[in-house]
Amino acid sequence: MNRVLADIAVTSMLDACLVAAQALVLNSLGIPFAAITAFSGIGAYAVALALGGSWIGLAFAALLTAVTLAGFSFLAPLLPQDRYLLLTLAVLGVLLATAGSAAGLGGQLGLKSASTLLPPQEPLPFAVAAVLLFSMSLLAHALIGRSEFGLAVSVARNSRLDITAKSFIPVKRITLVCFVIAASIAMLAGVLRATYSGRVDPNQLRIRTAIVILMPTLAAGSSPLRIGILSVVFFAFPDCFAVLFGYDATSLAYIREMAWSALIIAMVPGNVIARLRTRIKVQMAAQTRY
Amino acid sequence: MSLETVAGGLIGAAYLVPLSIAFSIAASHGKYLPLWIPYTGLLGAYLAYAMSETRGVPAMWALIVAAILSAAFAIVANYALFRGHINRGEPYAALLRAVAITVFIEAALGWATHGYALSYRHMKLGGSTYIPKIGDTLTSADLLAILSAIILAPALALLLRWTWAGLAFRSVASNRNLAREYGLPVLWIDTMALAFCGSLSAVGAIMFGMKYDLSPQMLAEPTMKVAAIVVALGAEWPERVTAGILMIGILEAVTQSSPSFAPFASAIGYVLLILALIMRYAVSLRLRRLQT
């Protein structure tokens, strides 16, 4: 039982790291980015290639990461938001097809990524590593929220609407830095996941997976506490509920996706929660005035 | 590149023509990417399955009821969820909602069917013909898909370019406020356009289900492919979108015929999308430079 719960903790925490990394770009920087799994996939394949002794593959993964990062951060201010979101998903589709067709990456079967240093399916060391990585990603959010860089990030977020923001801060450089931080977290999560499962396959680059990760990212906002709680609950709920109460985990995952997508449908029009909060503040101000 | 490969690609792509026309009409009307429109058809396809396979309703009635209910769903969803975004010109917010709707419908159908694929038995059209020249057997559904590809796009192009209804639709799609000021019945045109898109999606999804069986995720990849072509060729030209879908179908079939590149076939649409976006950006940048 404890082993199963530890396994759930590791996988949910690693998925939650992806949410935290994506929230850095999507919510803090305001760039409609939905392909964080591209970086975790690259990280996973890179570690599998490194464990297999293919250093050329590792260098190619580093080059691919650099090109993808540069492309995403360069195109972010230039394309309309909806087109950019579609572009990120399209890049994911191309990576999926490449991973599935390249013989050097094992095709549809993938590659073995078991390490002798950290044996796969041993939850304890991976749980510690996952907790550390997740804490680091939340710490990054907290630091960005409280630092001068965070102020620059919020100005960069507004630069799409207010062009004068560009004369105060280096928007392109800030965008690139945020992308690098997010990609590093995602790649580390990918490395841990690959070594934990002992195998890497193209399925983690599926667009469907990216869209499932997009749901909690949109709902989580940029507060570290909210990201921490919501993302872990999102990923741990079906398996935990299934283990504790014996309900089918797949059905619970469907119910979870229905509930969260309904939440997103309700929240999109102008952020219902923010609107409610403003209304409450206005009412409280009116009451104190009288 | 053999005739068999081209014919196979064309037949496979012909099944996507109704969905792509519905998508391009909705995209042109709302000025956003309506990823949810094919999913109204998916709902219709499951509804038709429930009626014909479990309740014994005749296939034609099941098809008609599914088309009507999909149209109703499209109208209600557009009115309740997307009208505000369309009026305010918010394509990103509309896209996010569209993505959430697709996730919701996929999850709901997956939950209802435990994620298993379903196969039409009563609704499947009987009859097939072997065509020696292409080395393939054409089923009645294949012929229907080919006929729809031949008829639908030109008919729609004529309707949009040469009739009053087409002119009214284009006016509303171009500038809603101005169209309203000129006395065009905007709400009525919205309703008609969405009803058309919803029912056409249902027919398209049912045809697609006849060929590849029903599953909750069956329209995920085709929807992205259609979105890619709409972005690349422009939603205002359904006939171009249809031609693009057929061309991509041929390209995919050719890629699939080579064993080492077969899995890369699914990426052709995405590569096209990336190239189209970058080219559009380059063109707009050049225009801006010329202006300055």
User: Each residue of A32-72: pLDDT tens digit?
Assistant: 999 999 999 999 999 999 988 888 888 899 999 999 999 99
Residues 6+ apart with CB under 8 A from A74: A172
Determine the structural domain holding residue A240 and report its residue range.
2-247
Q: Do A265 and B104 touch (CB under 8 A)?
A: yes
Is A31 part of any domain?
yes
Cα distances (Å, whole numbers) of residue B156 to B20, B159, B176: 12, 5, 21
Q: Which residue of A has its CA nearest to B271?
A: A94
Residue A192 pLDDT: 93
Residue A277 has a pLDDT of 60
Position B135 pLDDT exceeds 80? no
pLDDT score, position A274 = 55
- The DSSP code sequence of B67-101 is HHHHHHHHHHHIIIIIHHHHHHT-HHHHHHHHHHH
- Identity at A188, one-letter amino acid code: L
pLDDT at B74 over 90: yes
- Whether the CB of B263 is below 8 Å from some CB of chain A: the reply is yes
On whether any CB of chain B is under 8 Å from the CB of A150, the answer is no
In this predicted model, what pLDDT tens digit does every residue of A252-263 receive, in sequence order?
889 988 988 998
Query: Token pair of A9, please?
Result: 């903790």
Contact A93 B270 (CB under 8 A): yes
Q: Which chain A residues touch B97 with a CB distance below 8 Å?
A: 264-265, 268-269
* CB B136 within 8 Å of CB B2: no
Percent of chain A at pLDDT > 90 equals: 35
Instruction: Give the 3-state secondary structure of residue B146.
Output: helix
In-domain check, residue A11: yes
- B224 interaction partners in chain A (CB closer than 8 Å): 89-90, 93, 207
Q: Minimum mean pLDDT among A168-177, A205-214, B230-239, B276-285: which range?
A: B276-285
Tokens encoding B243: 């031609």
- Model confidence pLDDT, tens digit, residues B168-214: 999 999 988 899 999 999 999 999 999 999 999 999 999 999 888 89
Q: Please tell me the distance in Å from B255's CA to the nearest CA on chain A.
A: 11
**pLDDT number for residue A269:** 61
In a domain? residue A284: no
- Categorize the per-residue pLDDT at A82 as very low, low, confident or very high, splitting at 50, 70 and 90: confident
User: Mutation test of the interface with chain A: which of B43, B92, B271, choosing the one with the most A Cβ atoms within 10 A?
Assistant: B92
Q: Running DSSP on this structure, what letter comes out for residue B118?
A: B
Distance (Å, whole) CA A223 – CA A82 = 24
Rounded to 10 degrees, the C-alpha dihedral B91/B92/B94/B95 comes to: 110
The more confident residue out of A249 and A197 is: A197
- Structurally, chain A folds into a number of domains equal to 1
Residue with tokens 């009409």: B25
Q: Does A97 touch chain B (CB under 8 A)?
A: yes
Assembly ipTM: 0.85
**Parent domain of B56:** 3-291
Query: In angstroms, what separates the C-alpha of A83 from chain B's closest C-alpha?
Result: 8
Give me the number of domains chain B comprises.
1
Beta bridge partners of A242: none
- Is the per-residue pLDDT at B265 higher than 60? yes
- For chain A, say whether B101 makes contact (Cβ under 8 Å): yes
Residue A275 included in any domain: no
Residue B199 φ/ψ region, left for φ over 0, alpha for ψ in the -120 to 50 degree band, beta for the rest: alpha
Asked if B116 is an interface residue toward chain A (Cβ–Cβ < 8 A), one would say no
Of A97, A108, A255, the CB nearest to B111: A255
The contacts of residue B2 (CB under 8 Å, 6+ apart) are: B257
Q: Which residues of A touch B32 (CB under 8 A)?
A: 82
Residue numbers of B between 145 and 164 with CB closer than 8 Å to A: none
Model confidence, pTM: 0.87
Closest partner CB to A100 (pick from B94, B263, B270): B263
Chain A / chain B CB contacts < 8 angstroms: 131
Two tokens, residue B23:
């998508």
Mean pLDDT, chain A, as a whole number?
Answer: 86
Contacts of A90 in chain B (CB under 8 A): 224, 228, 270-271, 273-274, 277
Distance from CA of A203 to the nearest CA of B (A): 13
Q: Which residues contact B257 (CB under 8 A, 6 or more apart)?
A: B1, B2, B5
pLDDT value for A289:
60
Is the separation of the CB atoms in B225 and B248 below 8 Å? yes
Per-residue pLDDT at A179: 94
CA distance A281 to B143: 63
Write the CATH number for B91: 1.10.3470
Asked whether residue A57 is assigned to any structural domain, the reply reads: yes
> What residue of B is the nearest CA neighbor of A104?
B260
